[in-house]
Amino acid sequence: MKNILLIGTLLIMVSCKNQSQKTTQNSNNDLAVVEIESAIEPLNFVTSAELKETVYYLASDELKGRATGSDGIEKAAVYIEDKFKSYNVAPYFETYRDHYKAKGMDASNVVGYIEGNDPELKKEFIILGAHYDHIGVVKAVDGDSIANGANDDASGVAAVLAMARYFADKKNNKRSILFTLYSGEEIGLLGSKHLAERLQEDNINLYTMTNFEMMGVPMVDKDYEAYFTGFDLSNMAVKMNDYVNFKLLDQLPQAKEFQLFYRSDNYPFFKVFNKPSHAVSTFDFTNFDHYHKVGDEAELMNYEFMADLVNKLIPAYEAMSNTTTQEIQMYE
Q: Which domain holds residue 145?
A: 42-320
**CATH number of residue 278's parent domain:** 3.40.630.10
> For residue 1, what pLDDT is reported?
64
CA nearest neighbour of 125 among 133, 115, 117, 135: 115
Note the pLDDT of residue 300: 98
Per-residue pLDDT of the chain (332 residues; tens, 9 = 90+): 655 443 333 333 333 333 334 333 333 334 444 444 444 356 899 999 999 999 999 999 999 999 999 999 999 999 999 999 999 999 999 999 999 999 999 999 999 999 999 999 999 999 999 999 999 999 999 999 999 999 999 999 999 999 999 999 999 999 999 999 999 999 999 999 999 999 999 999 999 999 999 999 999 999 999 999 999 999 999 999 999 999 999 999 999 999 999 999 999 999 999 999 999 999 999 998 999 999 999 999 999 999 999 999 999 999 999 999 999 999 98
User: Does residue 37 lie within any of the structural domains?
Assistant: no
- Flag whether 4 is in a domain: no
Residue 238 lies in a domain: yes
Q: Specify the number of domains making up the chain.
A: 1
Q: With contact defined as beta carbons under 8 Å apart, do 320 and 172 qualify?
A: no
Tell me what pLDDT residue 41 has: 55
Helix axes 303-320, 155-170, angle to 10 degrees: 50
Question: How far is 127 from 207, CA to CA, in rounded Å?
Answer: 8
Residue 42 to residue 276: CA distance in whole angstroms = 27
